[in-house]
Amino acid sequence: MSWWTLLDGGYSMPAQKTWGQRLSSRVGRWLASRHPMTDIHPTCLISPEARIHPRDGFIGIGERSTVALGVLLQGNVTIGRNCSIQAYSNIVGYGSKQQPAGLITIGDDVRIASHAIIIAGNHRFADPDRPIRTQGLDLAPITIENDVWIAGRVNIMAGVTIGRGSVIGGGSVVTKDIPPYSLAVGVPARVIASRRQS
């Protein structure tokens, strides 16, 4: 069992109390930042078991953000400051820095729990006589504004904006925009309350 595996099954990031822990997150950060199309702030904690690959895009991670084991960051993804991406979440953007059709933008102070799936593209399937894999993708950006909590096993579909201060309940599938300071749950996700109401 590695030091990344805590009481909650490894879904939280550890405190860096020993030289081994500090070295491990530095190795993870180094592995992530060696690609020329990444910008990883030196204060980030990156598990060496995270997979970070920009393909033709760009991946930026702001200061004091954490990326846990098994996370996949791929394509065109920008993550703000003080964010937490927990174990085995998949965040897949598309496009390039110059053509950001499938850009995923995650604001500051965002918490994404384990096993979330955030993908900025959907397969086309209109022609039943052609394999789906040959029909291409419809790309649309995803924006998660500041101070959002995405609970475990949430799916966020292409083209969605989740407003500032919102909470998305576990297991939800977000297919439409969520207004700021909302609590949304379900399949598909629906707003059931506002955090602004007293």
Torsion on CA atoms 189, 152, 121, 128, rounded to nearest 10: -70
Q: Mapping DSSP to helix (H, G, I), strand (E, B) and coil, where does residue 134 land?
A: helix
**Is 34 among the domain residues?**
yes
**Do the domain assignments include residue 1?**
no
Look up the CATH number of the domain holding residue 91. Answer: 2.160.10.10
Flag the least confident range among 9-13, 46-50, 172-176: 9-13
- Dihedral pair phi/psi, residue 32, rounded to 5°: -70, -35
Q: Which of 11-25, 75-89, 111-125 has the lowest mean pLDDT?
A: 11-25
Note the pLDDT tens digit of each residue in 133-157: 999 999 999 999 999 999 999 999 9
Residue 193, SS3 per DSSP: strand
The three-state DSSP-derived secondary structure of 9-72 is CCCCCCCCCCHHHHHHHHHHHHHHHCCCCEEECCCCEECCCCEEECCCCCEEECCCCEECCCCE
Residue 9 lies in a domain: no
State the total domains in the chain. Answer: 1
Q: Is residue 107 part of a domain?
A: yes
Range of the domain at 122: 19-194
Given 35, 53, 115, 123, which residue is catalytic?
123
Residues of the chain with pLDDT > 90, as a percent, come to 65
Give residue 182's pLDDT.
97
Active site residue 41: no
Residue 5 included in any domain: no
Assess if residue 10 is contained within a domain: no
The pLDDT of residue 1 is 33
Q: Tell me, yes or no, whether 47 lies in a domain.
A: yes
Q: Does residue 19 carry a pLDDT above 60?
A: no
What is the 8-class DSSP label of residue 146? S
- Do the Cβ atoms of 102 and 120 come closer than 8 Å? yes
* Average pLDDT value for residue range 85-97: 92
Answer yes or no: are the C-beta atoms of 115 and 87 closer than 8 Å.
yes
pLDDT in tens, 60-76: 999 999 999 899 999 99
Predicted TM-score (pTM) of the model is 0.84
